[in-house]
Structure 1
Amino acid sequence: MLKVDVYVDRGVCRVVLNGELDVETVAQLQEVVGKVEEHTLEVDLSGVSFVDSTGLKSLLDISNDWRQKGGQMLILRPQPDVAEVMRLVGLDRLLAQNTAPGGEER
């Protein structure tokens, strides 16, 4: 199960995820992101307890799409286990991240 909340402020869309980002829930994220028109997309993973390869690929695809549109995507505050998986597969080097507790830095 995945809960998705969306907040828009000053040209920035923050998508806050809570739950698991996996093959069963990735379509939810893609649907929400497909409606975003802001230049900057922030994906807050502080509430994500699990991510599988489908979830990781989706984050990479979204980031690539955002760059192609001239925007930027930033990953905010991944949980330690999620951050470790991202590091192990090399996504920490491919996706811009902000691990600050409040995720306020941009």
Structure 2
Amino acid sequence: MLKVEVNAVPGIRRVVLNGELDMVTVALLQEVVKKEDEHTLELDLSGVSFVDSTGLKGLLDINNNWQQRGGQVLILQPQPDVAEVMRLVGLDKLLPQIGALDGEER
């Protein structure tokens, strides 16, 4: 299961995720994000305990769509295991992470 909460401030949408981001739940995230239209999209992954390849591809697709509209996507506070998976597949180079393993932006 995945719980998605959207918080809005001018110019930014923060989407807070809790649960697992996988082939079953990624469509929910994509559906929620599709409705947003601010310049910056922050995906708070502090509550994501697991991500599979489908979840990673979903994050990449969201990033690509957002960039095509002239916006940016930031990943906030991924759990250490999630940040490590993102690093291993090179996604950390495409999606800036804030509050990752070492607490620094990457």
**TM-score range, shorter-chain basis?**
over 0.9
Match of 1:20 in 2: 20
CA distance in 2, matches of 1:79, 1:7: 20
CA distance in 2, matches of 1:70, 1:58: 18
Q: Does 1:47 align with 2:47?
A: yes
Match of 2:63 in 1: 63
Q: Which amino acid aligns with 1:88?
A: L
Please list every run of at least 4 consecutive aligned residues from structure 1 whose deviation after the TM superposition is greater than 3 angstroms: none
Structure 1, unpaired ranges of 5+:
none
How many residues are matched?
103
Match of 1:95 in 2: 95
Q: Post-superposition shift, 1:99?
A: 1.1
Q: Post-superposition shift, 1:96?
A: 1.2
Q: Which amino acid aligns with 2:62?
A: I
Q: CA RMSD in A?
A: 1.7
CA distance in 2, matches of 1:11, 1:95: 19
Q: Post-superposition shift, 1:10?
A: 1.4
CA distance in 2, matches of 1:53, 1:75: 17
Q: Which amino acid aligns with 2:18?
A: N
Equivalent position SS for 2:8:
strand
Structure 2, unpaired ranges of 5+:
none
Between the aligned residues of both structures, percent identity stands at: 75
Q: Which amino acid aligns with 1:85?
A: V
Instruction: With the length of structure 2 as denominator, give the TM-score of the two structures.
Output: 0.92
Instruction: With the length of structure 1 as denominator, give the TM-score of the two structures.
Output: 0.92
Match of 2:11 in 1: 11
CA distance in 2, matches of 1:34, 1:71: 13
Q: Which amino acid aligns with 2:6?
A: V
Deviations 1:52-78 (A, max 9, x none): 000000001101111110001100000
